Amino acid sequence: MASSISTQLIEDLDIKPLSGKLVPLKTKGELEAETDLIDVHVVAVNPRRATDVVALIKETFPASRDLELAHLRGYTKFTLLPAQLRSRFEALIPDEREEVILSSLNAHVDGNEKRPPATPSPPVVLTSTIPRSTPISAAQAAGWSEHFWPCVYKNTNPYGPHPKILSQSTAIVDADAPRFLALAERAAQACHASNSGPSVGCVVVERRKDGIAEVVSVAGDARYGGVGSANSCAGNVMAHAVMRAMGMVARKRLRVDEDVQGAGEQSAEEQSAYMDLPLNELESKFFALDNIAPRGYLCLNLEIYLTHEPCVMCSMAILHGRFASCVFRRELPLTGALTTSKGKDSNSLGYGLFWHQELNWKFFAWKWLDSDVCGIEDDGSGVHA
């Protein structure tokens, strides 16, 4: 079996992989789509007249064309309706079971109770609630079909990563996350033990073309070490684990590129307030390896594994670095910037920075769910990671 340069190092550390699973984070758009329900009109028609009625509705309510509802069946058989809707119709048209129910979804928009004119008998029009957004999974489509209206899943996701690509990435990251998260824990403890900072750590990985993962930097938090005093609770913010790990990647690139083409501008190897040189044996071991592909750009397409959900600064740093993927273990609702939440009453920040419509880079993000939730200590959430 092929292995990476860093594999032996990790084996020597005798790290016990975590047990649990990855849960993809929801994007802000997905969360909003999930609960975006609107009221529309539905009408019962004779199947032979369905085409006429649709044409008539479109003509009578021109504004209806603005409503994008391609994920819902325009009209559907009575038997395919959700039970609640079927019984509402049954109460009004008890004898005409053979009728097809036509969704006059398009007839809504202005909320007008006007009925489509010129049908031979007055049609039965009901108001019903439907999901306005496209379903993003087969399960969601099935659930909506059962509760609202027959619904089609097209294997796309306008509100987040494409389902196919996400599941491929999940499979790749899933194989390595148990070891790398455990390594991140080790990095967190190493810095914490020397009073450098809170027990927060991370691991940066480059995925080679053959799929093998190479650990390029490992860092703990050093906000209380090196400079300043620990009496300020925020400490040296730039020394959060993510910033340190990214700093070490950049230094490694300069070093490797200098070796390769003699062009890199090697900066002096002395610890600065960035704290981006190794602070202990663990960090040094990985930093010393020349195991990053030469002439790379920032942290483009690298993966990062964290003990905690990163703060706003670190999440945006991950974005600036153009990482491909991010896995974290502990959610930090008060300070974390990757998870999403809905509504002002939620006490989490809910920025969902990994997949933000207005930002020019998006990455995959997962929360790690430990199999034994009791095994994970609660270390309070009033801290920035």
Instruction: Please state the closest distance from residue 31 (CB atom) to Zn ion, in A.
Output: 23
Instruction: Please state the closest distance from residue 355 (CB atom) to Zn ion, in A.
Output: 19
Q: Tell me: does residue 314 bind Zn ion (CB under 5 A).
A: yes
List the one residue from 232, 261, 266, 284 that touches another protein (CB under 8 A). 232
The beta-strand segments (E) located in the chain are 20-24, 37-45, 75-76, 100-103, 124-131, 201-207, 213-220, 303-308, 325-330, 364-370
Q: How many residues does the chain have?
A: 385
Instruction: Please state the closest distance from residue 314 (CB atom) to another protein, in A.
Output: 8
Q: Tell me: does residue 228 bind another protein (CB under 8 A).
A: yes
Q: Tell me: does residue 131 bind another protein (CB under 8 A).
A: no
# residues near Zn ion by CB under 5 A? 3
List the structure tokens of 382.
Answer: 């009033």
Residue numbers 305-334 binding another protein by CB under 8 A: 311-314, 316-317, 319-322, 334
Residue 179, binding choice from Zn ion, another protein, none, Cβ under 5 to 8 Å by partner class: none
Q: Is 326 helix (H, G, I), strand (E, B) or coil?
A: strand
Binding piece for Zn ion, criterion CB under 5 A, among 45-53, 120-128, 282-290, 305-313:
305-313
**Do 330 and 379 touch, CB atoms closer than 8 A?**
yes
Q: In sequence order, which residues have a C-beta less than 8 Å from that of residue 12 and are 6 or more positions away?
A: none
Residue 227, binding choice from Zn ion, another protein, none, Cβ under 5 to 8 Å by partner class: another protein
Type of residue found at 149:
W
Q: Tell me: does residue 335 bind another protein (CB under 8 A).
A: yes
List the one residue from 186, 253, 329, 367 that touches another protein (CB under 8 A). 253
Instruction: Please state the closest distance from residue 358 (CB atom) to Zn ion, in A.
Output: 16
Q: Tell me: does residue 311 bind Zn ion (CB under 5 A).
A: yes
Listed residue (96, 93, 57, 95) closest to 75, CA to CA: 57
Instruction: Please state the closest distance from residue 241 (CB atom) to Zn ion, in A.
Output: 7
- Euclidean distance between the first and the last CA atom of the chain, given in angstroms as a whole number: 36
- Per-residue b/e over 60-80, b at no fewer than 16 CB within 10 Å? bbeebeeeebebbbebbebee
**Do 260 and 295 touch, CB atoms closer than 8 A?**
yes
Rounded Cα distance between 43 and 303, Å, is 52
Q: In sequence order, which residues have a C-beta less than 8 Å from that of residue 308 and are 6 or more positions away?
A: 200, 328, 329, 330, 332, 336, 385
Q: How would you class 234 by CB atoms within 10 Å of its CB: exposed for 0-12, middle for 13-18, buried for 19 or more?
A: exposed
# residues near another protein by CB under 8 A? 48
Instruction: Please state the closest distance from residue 337 (CB atom) to another protein, in A.
Output: 8
Instruction: Please state the closest distance from residue 20 (CB atom) to another protein, in A.
Output: 28
Q: Considering the complex, state which of residue 160 and residue 336 has its C-beta at the smaller distance from Zn ion.
A: 336
Residue numbers 265-304 binding another protein by CB under 8 A: 265, 267, 272-274, 297-299
131 has which bridge partners? Answer: 37
Q: Considering the complex, state which of residue 207 and residue 356 has its C-beta at the smaller distance from another protein.
A: 356
Residue numbers 239-258 binding Zn ion by CB under 5 A: 240
Instruction: Please state the closest distance from residue 304 (CB atom) to another protein, in A.
Output: 13
Instruction: Please state the closest distance from residue 332 (CB atom) to Zn ion, in A.
Output: 10
3-state helix, strand, coil in the chain (%, to 5): 35, 20, 45
Binding piece for Zn ion, criterion CB under 5 A, among 17-25, 183-191, 234-242, 285-293:
234-242
List the one residue from 235, 278, 336, 352 that touches another protein (CB under 8 A). 235
Q: Considering the complex, state which of residue 191 and residue 246 has its C-beta at the smaller distance from another protein.
A: 246
Rounded Cα distance between 219 and 286, Å, is 10
Type of residue found at 263:
A
Provide the binding-site residues for another protein, judged by CB under 8 A: 227-229, 231-232, 234-238, 243, 246-247, 249-250, 253-254, 257, 265, 267, 272-274, 297-299, 311-314, 316-317, 319-322, 334-335, 337, 349, 351, 353, 356, 358-360, 382, 384
Provide the binding-site residues for Zn ion, judged by CB under 5 A: 240, 311, 314
